[in-house]
A and B are shown apart, each in its own frame.
Chain A
């Protein structure tokens, strides 16, 4: 550690070297400035997001997972389609469908990013700084939601394109490429990942710990729907269908049963809104 260079800078007897903003009487600074508020909080979260390595690892993992899974699913499709006449075969699939199916696995790398945005705050104690910078709890949560939703939507859309691009050459004649459909599938993946990431963010704000949040997300997305469907009871099936993971997949696959895709999207959005509300309540009520 070197000697601080500013030892004299702060000496009261040297007004000429006072810090630049000092001539303004302390306390009046509040009224002079613009900036801050929600845009400031969003800018701050943006800087925070890209300044830690773990985010890049999450993104890299999501790319690898998507490429590998979409490619493998394409190989399955290609292998199981034995009819030599693709023209009359119903085994022809949209290339985007491979990306859609691969999301079920690749999503966890993206969710990890959403998870880190909030749980790393508590894990490192950084939340005490963050709340000093942005004391309004709703503003902070809205800023985090904006960043998470924006980034995961963009990343998700690119992952959708990537999955389709990897699947297309493997599928060959069994793949169907129609630009609007492929584009729609990619945007769908983006929308799904954005909402499920916001769902995770809200849950993380409510639960605070990374492990608990990850377990909860994993259970809700994969384990619980499967368990509920096992007994084959109508009411349990319905329950499974309204859970966020199932709603998201119904939306992604364009299912018309048990409800149209738009309903799936709305259900997912409602889930995301609900966990955000829960997260906000916890942020507001509990000490940081």
Chain B
């Protein structure tokens, strides 16, 4: 369990993290999203006691990180996998790490095998590829068999095989009842991995909800209904509008209903006794839902390419 209460961090006049209150619960993967500069890494660093908050608290299993006697047995983290001494071997790095927290050194070989670095354990970390460094960082996070895991962009630099491995690793860690908190830029990856979604923008909380809710709340998630008879279409439309649902015509025989479920629309059609030729859900992707959420909080915005101001507003599926 990770809890932050009104967590705040300022860098000069910029407020990087603004009164962030979160509860990251065990047993599931919580994805942490936000545009560049939104304060994700700063939040993680404050949870790990690396940055001093200007206000509020960050607790891990109910205690500040700095108060943990064996922090690595409680929290495993991968922040910046390149932040190791390039001249030290992977094994020496993990051995020093294990000794600092009274972890048996046999555990070093176990985690090296887990991440697939056994054969290069004696090599200097500076000679590692980005993917190998990521694996070393993950080995470190797993070393103390902690109940809380924090990963900052874990799939960076990994090949597709490695990405899949990370996904399965995180799912299994959560299934074992651990708290898994992971930031990522890859929406498709988060959609596949996470159960819960925390989105921040400009240091503020935008959304903290189950991923399914985030997707269904998107304006791009809608129900498509096809009716062959124009009169019936008109009647259904009236009833839907009466229920304060957003209805847009799509072509001559189709309606797009936002905010309703397939069941609702189907039931309504049955009530009216109209014939349907199609009833389906058009589900937004996480990327679309995310872009909608963070539209107003982009800190570093590039100039639009071509004429499209919103790259994904085109019809999906």
Contacts and interface: CB of A to CB of B under 8 A. Distances in A.
Contacts, number: 178
A133 B68 CA distance: 10
Prevailing SS type, chain A contact patch: loop
A83 interface: no
B184 to A, nearest CB: 19
Contact of B165 (A4, A33, A45, A52): A4
A215 interface: no
Interface stretch (A100-108, A118-126, A166-174, A234-242): A118-126
B100 A41 contact: yes
Nearest to A127: B83
Contacts of A54: 87
B147 A29 contact: yes
A1 B97 contact: no
A237 B133 CA distance: 54
A243 B175 CA distance: 61
Interface residues of A, number: 56
A217 to B, nearest CB: 22
B278 interface: no
B119 A40 contact: no
Contacts of B45: 128, 287-288
Interface in A249-288: 285, 287-288
Contact of A22 (B87, B96, B165, B176): B176
Interface stretch (B166-174, B187-195, B252-260, B287-295): B166-174
B161 A126 contact: no
A86 interface: no
A48 to B, nearest CB: 5
B70 A18 contact: no
Interface in A119-158: 120, 124-129, 131-136
B212 to A, nearest CB: 20
A260 B61 CA distance: 55
A126 B85 contact: yes
Nearest to A43: B99
Given A19-B114, A51-B89, A40 B102 contact: yes
Contacts of A26: 26, 145-148, 176-179
A47 interface: yes
B102 A25 contact: no
Nearest to B96: A47
Contacts of A19: 110, 114, 142, 145
Contacts of A37: 69, 102
Contact of A124 (B86, B116, B132): B86
B92 A47 contact: yes
B239 to A, nearest CB: 45
Contacts of A287: 45, 50-52
Contacts of B161: 3-4
A133 B168 contact: no
A36 B100 CA distance: 5
A44 B105 CA distance: 11
Contacts of B82: 125
Given A27-B61, A44-B99, A48-B96, A132 B116 contact: no
A10 B66 contact: no
Most chain B CB within 10 A, of A18, A34, A45, A136, is at: A136
B201 interface: no
Contacts of A40: 99-102
B97 A133 contact: yes
Contact of A2 (B70, B74, B116, B140): B116
Interface in B102-127: 102-103, 110, 113-116, 119
Given A26-B176, A287-B51, A6 B97 contact: no
B32 interface: no
A30 interface: yes
19 contacts: A1-B129, A4-B116, A4-B162, A6-B113, A10-B114, A10-B172, A11-B168, A12-B172, A26-B179, A27-B147, A30-B74, A48-B92, A124-B85, A124-B86, A128-B45, A128-B50, A133-B101, A135-B66, A285-B52
Shortest beta-carbon contacts, A-B, top 6: A35-B102, A26-B147, A125-B83, A12-B175, A44-B100, A51-B92
Interface of A: 1-7, 9-12, 18-22, 24-30, 33-37, 40-41, 43-48, 51-54, 120, 124-129, 131-136, 285, 287-288
